[in-house]
């Protein structure tokens, strides 16, 4: 039987007033992550990683200083805390206007901003959901408004473990971002990101990517599995371990319009992962900074 979310230990912290927590969660206008606070108290996030979180190639984080990059509602940050990290810092960009929007998704002559899906990302500042969950659970995770490109030892110091979840696909310059991550990573990086199904099948073993760079999903480079690994290597990391491909499931996320190609992709993804749920194909890599690759931001 697949483990249920309620089987996981509760978040460390103060006793939770569940009725009050449910009320405050329901009042928050947008949740990106599906996060359990206690049995019966869960955020209605767009994406759900609860079924795969224990299958990721986690390093031992107990007693270590950890960083979650692109934290949004804090799924990985709170998971690091739950796993026994001594200190967790979570960073993200609070102002949506500073995201790496493609030209046609920005306000202006080329822009197509007209509500719809964009409305989910232009609501409350990023960090509001995180702060709400931290206040409800008594979390000690420190949230900082900082772009991945601006990471540097002089800003936050260095970390034993760095986690990046579903961020690279949304970055115009993922190599520069990873080099900034490397400058603050003195131990290990866990990178979990979307991979392209068909490029991973037909280009198995070859690092490939498809340039998108358009639209309100703010997606730039869609890498295949080998491309994700090569991306980390290009930024100065050595990959130690890779997970099997898995589905980050849709929860409150709008379902894509069905097409024949979409249906074929669902069948292929299910054959690859064994997961019949709708969602986005991912793979996670555990890596360390390579010797001989000086940190750019040191």
Q: Kindly tell me the burial class for residue 45, based on how many C-beta atoms sit within 10 Å of its own C-beta (0-12, 13-18, 19 or more).
A: buried
For position 261, what pLDDT does the model report?
Answer: 64
For position 10, what pLDDT does the model report?
Answer: 55
CA 100, 180, 212 angle in degrees (round to 5)? 30
Other Cβ atoms less than 10 A from the Cβ of 205: the count is 9
Query: Could you give all domains of the chain from N- to C-terminal order, each with its CATH number?
Result: 5-289 (3.40.50.150)
Name which of 46, 78, 33, 84 is nearest 62 in CA terms: 84
b/e for 160-185, b at 16 or more Cβ within 10 A? bbbbbbbbbbbbeebeebbbbbbbbb
Work out the average pLDDT over 63-69: 98
Average pLDDT of the chain is 88
Phi and psi at 236, nearest 5°, equal 100, 20
Above 50 in pLDDT, residue 110? no
Above 50 in pLDDT, residue 221? yes
pLDDT tens figures, 262-296: 677 788 888 889 999 999 999 999 999 997 776 65
The pTM is what?
0.90
For position 3, what pLDDT does the model report?
Answer: 38
Q: Name the more confident of 43 and 268.
A: 43
For position 260, what pLDDT does the model report?
Answer: 60
Longest dimension (CA), the chain: 54
Other Cβ atoms less than 10 A from the Cβ of 268: the count is 15
Give the alpha-carbon dihedral of 100, 106, 112, 116, to 10 degrees. Answer: 70
pLDDT category at 8 given cuts 50, 70, 90 is: low
Work out the average pLDDT over 252-268: 74
């Amino acid at each position: 039987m697949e483990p249920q979310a309620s089987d996981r230990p509760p978040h460390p912290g103060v006793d939770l007033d569940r009725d009050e927590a449910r009320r405050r969660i329901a009042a928050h206008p947008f949740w990106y992550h599906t996060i359990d606070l206690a049995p019966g108290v869960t955020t209605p996030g767009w994406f759900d990683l609860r079924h795969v979180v224990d299958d990721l190639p986690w390093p031992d984080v107990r007693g270590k200083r950890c960083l979650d990059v692109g934290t949004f509602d804090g799924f990985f940050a709170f998971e690091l805390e739950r796993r026994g990290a001594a200190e967790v810092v979570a960073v993200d960009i609070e102002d949506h206007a500073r995201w790496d929007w493609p030209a046609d998704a920005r306000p202006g002559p080329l822009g197509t901003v007209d509500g719809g899906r964009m409305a989910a990302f232009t609501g409350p500042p990023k960090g509001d959901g995180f702060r709400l969950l931290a206040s409800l659970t008594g979390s000690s995770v420190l949230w900082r408004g900082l772009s991945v490109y601006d990471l540097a030892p002089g800003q936050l110091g260095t970390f034993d473990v760095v986690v990046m979840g579903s961020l690279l696909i949304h970055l115009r310059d993922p190599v520069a971002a990873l080099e900034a991550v490397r400058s603050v990573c003195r131990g290990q990086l866990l990178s979990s990101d979307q991979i392209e199904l068909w490029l991973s099948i037909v280009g198995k073993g070859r690092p490939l990517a498809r340039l998108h760079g358009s639209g309100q999903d703010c997606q730039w480079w869609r890498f295949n599995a080998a491309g994700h690994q090569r991306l980390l290597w290009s930024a100065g990391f050595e990959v130690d371990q890779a997970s099997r491909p898995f589905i980050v499931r849709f929860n409150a996320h709008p379902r894509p319009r069905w097409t024949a190609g979409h249906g074929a992709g669902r069948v292929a993804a299910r054959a690859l992962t064994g997961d019949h749920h709708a969602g986005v194909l991912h793979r996670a890599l555990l890596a360390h900074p390579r010797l001989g690759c000086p940190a750019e931001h040191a």
